[in-house]
């Protein structure tokens, strides 16, 4: 089955600096790659996603890049703010005969220091 | 809130007891999922269902059971066979034609 590796597991940045989180996936058939943000004790919420026919997508301070050949994708947060502190999860999705599964990475705990 | 309702929010169980976590969605989504989250860990898939009366095991299905008798409901039973059930359980749903997974607020189960 699909395996998603996420690095780093923790990331501490100074407010205003950039943060980068990287994920690799194993199944070349995966074609949808969302990123979720989870604040302490709350549900994960989608912040950005990318499909396999696109190489990069931006939404204000957040961007995601996808390299299908290398099977990795990254989340970039620029001009970080204290409210960006949370756990971030990447995921990979594929359609298979038995059903549709969304496999998550292990998460990255981001701390933005004021 | 968010179209997916999980209950109860907090649940305490004695060892050897079965418990059922409720998940209801009013988003008319076809697919529903159950994930388990342990402290400082990622999300692991327990079971998922694409259509009514059909469901598949995820990566950690042992000790759990589900049913999908109605499109809007996907309850999860944590049985006594689950050796370490203390965790945060998240239910989610998605429309097959779209990508985004919508999560409920979660149920925190503690075994005493």
Q: What is the 3-state secondary structure (H, E, C) of B39-98?
A: CCCCEEEEEEEEECCEEEECCCCCCEEECCCECCECCEEECCCCCCCCEEEEEEEECCCC
Q: Which of B2, B28, B17, B29 is CA-nearest to residue B93?
A: B29
Taking CB atoms and an 8 Å cutoff, what residues of chain B touch A50? none
- Facing residues of A59 across strands? A62
- Distance from the Cα of A55 to chain B's closest Cα (Å) equals 17
- Distance from the Cα of A44 to chain B's closest Cα (Å) equals 7
Cβ of B99 within 8 Å of Cβ of A44? The answer is no
Cβ of B45 within 8 Å of Cβ of A103? The answer is yes
- Distance from the Cα of B92 to chain A's closest Cα (Å) equals 10
Searching chain A, which residue's CA lies closest to the CA of residue B1?
Answer: A43
Cβ of B103 within 8 Å of Cβ of A44? The answer is yes
- Distance from the Cα of B85 to chain A's closest Cα (Å) equals 18
> Which residues of chain B, if any, have pLDDT below 70?
1-2, 97-98
Mean pLDDT of chain A: 91
Taking CB atoms and an 8 Å cutoff, what residues of chain B touch A98? 56
The pLDDT assigned to B82 comes to: 87
pLDDT band at A96 (very low <50, low <70, confident <90, very high): low
- Facing residues of A75 across strands? A21, A64
| Higher-scoring residue by pLDDT: B102, A2 | B102
Angle at A55 between CA A111 and CA A72, to 5 degrees: 55
Percent of chain A with pLDDT over 70: 95
CA distances from A44 to A29, B16, B88, B89 (A): 25, 31, 12, 12
Contact B41, A82 (CB under 8 A): no
The pLDDT assigned to A52 comes to: 82
The pLDDT assigned to A97 comes to: 44
Q: A38-92 pLDDT, tens per residue? A: 998 899 999 999 988 889 999 999 999 999 999 999 999 999 999 999 999 999 9
Put simply, whether B47 touches A (Cβ < 8 Å) is no
Q: Beta strand pairing status for B107-111 and B10-13?
A: parallel
Cβ of A42 within 8 Å of Cβ of B58? The answer is no
Contact B7, B107 (CB under 8 A): yes
Q: Which of B29, B73, B38 is CA-nearest to residue A106?
A: B38
Cβ of B41 within 8 Å of Cβ of A107? The answer is yes
Put simply, whether B90 touches A (Cβ < 8 Å) is yes
């Amino acid at each position: 089955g699909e395996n998603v590796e996420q690095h780093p597991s923790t990331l501490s940045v100074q407010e205003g600096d950039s943060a980068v989180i990287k994920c690799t996936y194993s199944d070349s058939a995966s074609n949808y790659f969302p990123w979720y943000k989870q604040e302490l004790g709350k549900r994960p919420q989608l912040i950005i996603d990318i499909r396999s026919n696109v190489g990069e997508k931006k939404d204000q301070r957040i961007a995601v890049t996808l390299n299908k050949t290398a099977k990795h994708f990254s989340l970039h947060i620029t001009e970080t703010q204290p409210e960006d502190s949370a756990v971030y999860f990447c995921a990979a999705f594929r359609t298979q005969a038995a059903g549709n599964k969304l496999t998550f990475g292990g998460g990255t705990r981001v701390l933005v220091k004021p | 809130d968010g179209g997916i309702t999980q209950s109860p929010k907090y649940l305490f169980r004695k060892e050897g007891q079965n418990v059922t976590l409720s998940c209801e969605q009013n988003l008319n989504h076809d697919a529903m999922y159950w994930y388990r989250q342990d402290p400082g860990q990622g999300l692991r898939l327990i079971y998922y269902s694409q259509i009514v009366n059909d469901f598949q095991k995820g990566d950690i299905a042992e000790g759990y059971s589900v049913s999908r008798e109605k499109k809007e409901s996907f309850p999860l039973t944590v049985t006594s066979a689950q050796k370490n059930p203390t965790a945060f359980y998240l239910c989610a749903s998605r429309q097959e034609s779209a990508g985004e997974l919508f999560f409920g607020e979660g149920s925190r189960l503690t075994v005493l």
